[in-house]
Chain A
Amino acid sequence: SQELEQSPQSLIVQEGKNLTINCTSSKTLYGLYWYKQKYGEGLIFLMMLQKGGEEKSHEKITAKLDEKKQQSSLHITASQPSHAGIYLCGADLRSQGNLIFGKGTKLSVKP
């Protein structure tokens, strides 16, 4: 089974609506990264969470890491077409310092 589960796989929302993307690990997360990717392009770093209970915000995007450090959620408030893309969570599981990635969530925002 996958070490990092991301849900939902795809999401279509109306502009202005809120949405949440989840990332769940079977192991303790020593660091959790959220990236945005336009398909076939590089990754844009959004946020990194390390401490249990940590929450960070950037513009209308908020990411949280739960106290047990095994689940993170990414919340977008009042979504806009510019938010469309693929959101990837990457986890540092302290194996070699590399990140293990979820399969991504494809977000579409209808104007």
Chain B
Amino acid sequence: GAVVSQHPSRVICKSGTSVKIECRSLDFQATTMFWYRQFPKQSLMLMATSNEGSKATYEQGVEKDKFLINHASLTLSTLTVTSAHPEDSSFYICSATGGATDTQYFGPGTRLTVL
């Protein structure tokens, strides 16, 4: 099946700093990428949808100036958490869709811990 990678897998940062998370589709062109976050013992919640070359569409309640999303190519989307705070600590997962099917393939996730 299609492969989606995420980097880094884990990151610890100090409050107030910015963190960039990369999501790559390794063997297909991802026309659309989604960013989800998951709090402990909760389901995944969609944060934003990004289409290659377009501005991301954010879900209600998600601050676009805080969670910067860039989808500059068909294989790469980045999520930057700006001025991170401890409440931003979470598990961030991206998914990508494209190619011959509408199947969404998920990355392995990035665990962000803000001290």
Is B106 an interface residue when CB atoms closer than 8 A count as contact?
Answer: yes
**Is A43 touching B93 in the complex (CB atoms < 8 A)?**
yes
| Residues A48 and B44 in contact, CB atoms below 8 Å apart | no
| Chain B: number of interface residues, binned into ranges | 20 to 34
Is chain A's interface secondary structure helix, strand, loop, or mixed overall?
strand
Taking a contact as CB atoms under 8 Å apart, the answer to whether B109 and A31 are in contact is no
A residues in contact with B1, CB < 8 Å: 45
A contact residues around B6 at 8 Å (CB) = 42
The answer to whether B103 touches A45, judged by C-beta atoms less than 8 angstroms apart, is yes
Residue total for A at the interface (Cβ-Cβ under 8 A) = 21
A2: nearest chain-B partner, CB-CB: B43
Would A88 and B107 count as touching, CB distance under 8 A?
no
Cβ-defined contact, B44 with A101, below 8 A: yes
**What residues make up the interface of B, taking CB atoms closer than 8 Å to A?**
1, 6, 32, 34, 42-46, 49, 57, 91, 93, 95, 97, 102-109, 111
A contact residues vs B (CB 8 Å cutoff): 31, 33, 35, 40-43, 45, 48, 88, 90, 92, 96-104
